[in-house]
A and B are shown apart, each in its own frame.
Chain A
Amino acid sequence: MDASVLLALRDPAGIPFYPVVFQALYILTWALHAAFVLLALGSMGLSLYGTFKQKDDQRWKILTPHLIQTGKISVSLLIVLGVAPLLFTQVIYDPNWYTTNALSGMWIFIFIYALVVGYMMFYWFYYANKAKDGGGKMIGMISFAILVFAGILMHNFAVTSIMPNEWMNMYAPNGVVDNSGWTFNIDIIRLAFMVSLSLPVVGIFLQNYSRFVSTREDFSKDLIDYTASFGTRIASIGLLISAVLFVLWMYTIGYLMHPVIIATIAGVLVLLFMVMTNKNSYITTGVLVVVALLISGVRELIRYDLMMGLGYNIYDYPVNFEIPSITMFLLTFLIMGGVGVAYLLTMAWKVGKSQGIFDGSKDKAVNTLGNYTLGIMSLWMVVFFGWGMTILFSNIL
C-alpha cells in the first residue's frame, strides 16, 4: 500500500497528545487484557476437565466451581480491559483498524453476538454445575467453543490489520469490489503461540490459589498440595510449548535475533525456573506481568516496523494538544482509579482470607480506602458539573 494512501487515511483532526504515549498505553493495556484472556481460556478449559472429575474426586469437587467462577469473572475483566487497547490502537493506527473493520464487517457483527451468546451460556454452565456436581458439561463445552471462536475472530482482525499490502486485493480482487465484509485471515503459528500461553497462566494461577488458601483452615492440605503441584506441572509444560512456538514464530518472520525477542526468551526462561521451583508464586506472577508486557511489546514492534517500512511513522502523526481532557484522564486514572481499585482489591483479598463475615468498618485499610474513594468520586462529580457549566456559560452568554 502506498504511503500517501496510508497517510491520507489518518484522521484529519490529528491526535490530542504525543503518539508515544498512546503507543505505551496500548502496550500496557493490551498486556492486561491478554492476561485475562489467557486466564479465562485456561480456567474455563480446566473447569470443563474438572466436571469429569468432580463427582469422584474431592479436590476437583472444590476446585471446579472455583475455576468456573474464575473463568466467569475473567471474561468480564478481559472485556473491560480490552476496551482500552481498542481505544488507543485506533488513535495512532486508525488506517489499519478501520480498514480491517470495514473489510471484516460481517465478522465484526458475528464476533459481538458470539461473545454475548458464549458468555451467557457460561453463566448457564455455572448454574447447572452449581445445581449438580458434574452438571452442565455440554453447555460448558458449547460455551467454551463459542468463546474460543470469538477469540479466533479477534485474531483475524489483528492479522488483517497488519496486511496493508493485501488490503486492495481483499477489497477488490481482480478489480471487482467486494463489500460483503467476509475477509478472514489467520496466522496459525501466532495464534497457536497466543493460545498456548493460557497453560502457564492458569498454572501460575493454581500456584497462587494454593498459596492463597493455605492460610484458610477450611481448605485441606491435600487440596493445597495438589493444586500447587498440578499448577507447576501445567505451567512448566505450557511454558515449554509456548517457548518453542514463540521461537518458531519469530524465526519465520525473521525477528529471532532482535534484542526485544532475546529479552522475551530470557524472561520466559526465568519464568520457567521460578514456576518449577515455586518458592513464591506471587513474585512469579510479577515476572509473568513483565513477560506479558514484553510479548505485547513484540506485537507492537512487528506492527511498528511493518508500517515504518511502508512510510507510515506513528511519531509523525500531527498533534493537536488537548490539555483539559488529558488532565482529567490522568487525575482520574491515577487518583480515583488507583485508590478505587486498591479499595476493591484490598476488600476482596481480606474477604477471601476470612472465614465468616469480614467487618470492613473495623479494618483500617478498607475503611480508609472506602472513605477516600467515596470522597474522590463525589469531588469528581462536582468538578465535572462545574467544568461543564463554566464552558457552557462562556460559550452561550
Chain B
Amino acid sequence: MDIIGQFPLFYFPEYGSAWMMGVTGTIHILASHTSVGAAMLFAFLAYKAYKEDRTDLYPYMKKYGMFLLIFSYVIGSITGPGIWYTATAASPRGISALIHNFVWVWATEWVFFVYEVIGVFALVYFMNKIDKKTHLKLTFTFALASVGTLALIIGIISFMMWPGTEAYYTTGSASDAFFGTNTFPHMFLRIGFMIMMSGVIGLVISSAMRKENEALSNELSRKMGFVSLLGGFVTMFFFMWYMGTLPDNAHAVFNITKESIIQNRIILAILFSLYFLIAIIKPKVINVPIASAMIAVILIAGLWPGEKLRESMRKPYVAGQYIYSNQIISRDVPGKGIKSELPIIAEKGLLQVNPFVPENLKVITADNKLEAGKLLARMSCSNCHSLETTGKFRPLKERLTGMDKEAIKSILYAIGAGGMSYMPSLKLPEHEYDALAEYLASQKY
C-alpha cells in the first residue's frame, strides 16, 4: 500500500497550531534561562558569602530562591514538557524525528533535570538548616546540573535548524547530528542570555529589599547591573558568531526583514545597557515596578519576536533539514534508511498517501472538489499560514490578495518546482493542484 506516516491534522482556527508552540516556547525560554542563569549566580553569591563570611547574602539568596521556585520551576518545568506536547500536536513528525534521533540525549538531560528539581528544594529549604560549606558545595553541583541541562538540549534545538555538516545524513549518528557547526555558538549565546536574565530577575529581588536594608539592596543592585551587562555582552558577541553558522535558507528569510530586526535589536541593546548602567551608578532609581516592567519588555519585545524569527528561519524545514513544516520528509537520509516522500506524493497525490484522509475524499470529484481542496490546504499550508480571510498568523490572504485560480496555480507550480527557498518544494499531481487552487481562489482573499 502506498501510504506515508502522516498523522491526523490539528488546526487552530485563525492562527494555526504552530503559534501554541510559540507561546509556550517563549514563556519557557524566559523561565528556563532564568533558572540556569540564577543557578550560576547562586554559585557566585554562595562562594562570596562563604569566602567573605557575608551572612547578609543568605536572606537575599533565600528570597531569590523562593521566587525561582515559583517562577522558574513551576512555569519552567511545566512549559518544558509543554513545548513537547504542543509541538507534538502541531508537528508530530518533527518531534518524532527529534525523539528518534536523540532519545538517549534527552534521557540524559532528564537525569540532570531530576537532580536540578530535587536540588532546588534542598538549596532553598536547607539554607538555614545546613552549614555554609555544605551549602556552597550544593550550589556548585546545582549550577553544574543546570548548565548540563542546557548542554544537552542545545544540540537538539540546533539540529532543528540544521545538522551543520553533511556527516549526519551519511552516518545517521546522533553525535554528528548533535554537534553541528552552530551548536557551540548557540550554547554560549544562550549562556550569555541566561547570565543577563539572572541579573534582570536579581534586580527585582534586590530592589524589593530596599526597605529592610538599603545599603545591601544598593550593593546587590549594582552587582546585578554588572552581571547583566556581562551577560548582555556575551549574548551579543556570540549572536554574531551564531548568525555566521546558519544555513542559506535561514539567511534568505532573515534578509526579508533584516533592517527592522537589526533596528529592534539596537534599540533593545541601548535601552538595556542604559538600564544596567543606571543600576550600577544610581541603584536607588530601580524599583520593583521598573524592574518587573523590564522583564515584560524582554518577553514581549525581545523573546517573542526572537523566537518567531528563529522559527521562520528554519523554513521550510522543521527538523534536520529533512522534514518540512507540513510533515513531509523531503530528502533521503541514507544513514538512517530514510527515503524522501516527495516522489510518491508527486505521483499519487497527498490525498492518496495520507492514511487519515477519509475514503470519500481520496478521489477528487466535481462534488467534493472544494472539500478536498480545503483539506489539501490544511495539510500543505496550515502549519505556517492561517487560511481564513480573517487569519492572523502569516495569513494567506496577504499573499494571495485578489488572485484568481490560475494565478494561484502558477504560484503553486513555482513552489513545487523549488522556486522559493523558504517554501517546501511540494509537487502535487495536476488534479490536486487544481483542487487546491480552486479552494484558495474560492476564499476570495
Interfacial residues, chain A to chain B (CB-CB below 8 A) = 2, 4-5, 8-17, 22, 25, 73, 76-77, 79-84, 86-88, 90-91, 94-95, 97-99, 101-106, 108-109, 111-112, 115-116, 119-120, 123, 167-168, 171-172, 175-177, 179-181, 318, 320, 322, 324-326, 328-329, 332-333, 336-337, 340-341, 343-345, 347-348, 351, 354, 357-361, 366-367, 370-371, 373-374, 377-378, 380-381, 384, 387-388, 391-392, 395-396
Contacts and interface: CB of A to CB of B under 8 A. Distances in A.
Interface of B: 1, 3-5, 7-12, 17, 20, 24, 69-70, 73-75, 77-82, 84-86, 88-90, 92-93, 95-97, 99-108, 110-115, 117-119, 121-122, 126, 128-131, 133-134, 137-138, 140-141, 144-145, 147-148, 151, 155, 164-165, 167, 172-176, 178-181, 183-184, 329, 333, 336-339, 355-361, 375, 378
Nearest to A124: B70
A332 B341 CA distance: 37
B88 to A, nearest CB: 4
A222 to B, nearest CB: 25
B358 A361 contact: no
Given A87-B110, A112-B82, A14 B337 contact: yes
B27 to A, nearest CB: 9
B114 A341 contact: yes
B5 A329 contact: no
Nearest to B88: A101
A105 B21 CA distance: 11
User: Quick one: which of A77, A104, A171 has the most chain B CB within 10 A?
Assistant: A171
Given A12-B339, A119-B74, A111 B85 contact: yes
Given A91-B103, A381-B147, A108 B165 contact: no
Contacts of A336: 111, 115
A86 B82 CA distance: 11
A171 B89 contact: no
B333 A13 contact: yes
B88 A103 contact: no
B73 A361 contact: no
Contacts of B333: 13
Contacts of A22: 103
Contacts of B360: 175
A12 B341 CA distance: 11
Nearest to B107: A329
Nearest to B368: A175
Contacts of B81: 79, 82-83, 86, 112
B102 A105 contact: no
A99 B7 contact: yes
A2 B355 CA distance: 10
Given A79-B81, A358-B130, A16 B89 contact: no
- In the A-B complex, the 4 residue pairs with the smallest Cβ-Cβ separation, listed nearest first, are A360-B134, A105-B10, A105-B89, A98-B92
A110 to B, nearest CB: 10
Nearest to A377: B144
A218 B356 CA distance: 64
A116 B78 contact: yes
Contacts of A320: 172, 336-337
15 contacts: A4-B3, A5-B3, A13-B337, A13-B338, A14-B337, A77-B117, A90-B88, A105-B12, A112-B81, A175-B359, A333-B107, A344-B115, A347-B130, A347-B138, A357-B128
A106 B360 CA distance: 26
A315 B245 CA distance: 40
B130 A102 contact: no
Contact of A374 (B77, B140, B151): B140
B241 to A, nearest CB: 14
B114 A91 contact: no
Contact of A11 (B74, B100, B175, B358): B100
Given A343-B141, A377-B148, 11 more contacts: A5-B355, A8-B5, A94-B100, A98-B88, A112-B78, A167-B356, A168-B356, A340-B145, A341-B115, A344-B118, A388-B178
Contact of A337 (B104, B114, B147): B114
A285 to B, nearest CB: 18
Contacts of B95: 90, 98
Nearest to A114: B78
- Which of A14, A97, A318, A332 has the most chain B CB atoms inside 10 A of its CB? A332
A172 B358 contact: yes
Contacts of B77: 76, 79-80
B108 A340 contact: no
Quick one: which of B73, B121, B130 has the most chain A CB within 10 A? B130
Contacts of A357: 128-131
Contacts of B69: 123
Contact of B176 (A347, A358, A395): A395
A247 B113 CA distance: 37
B85 A101 contact: yes
Contacts of A345: 118
Contacts of A341: 114-115, 118
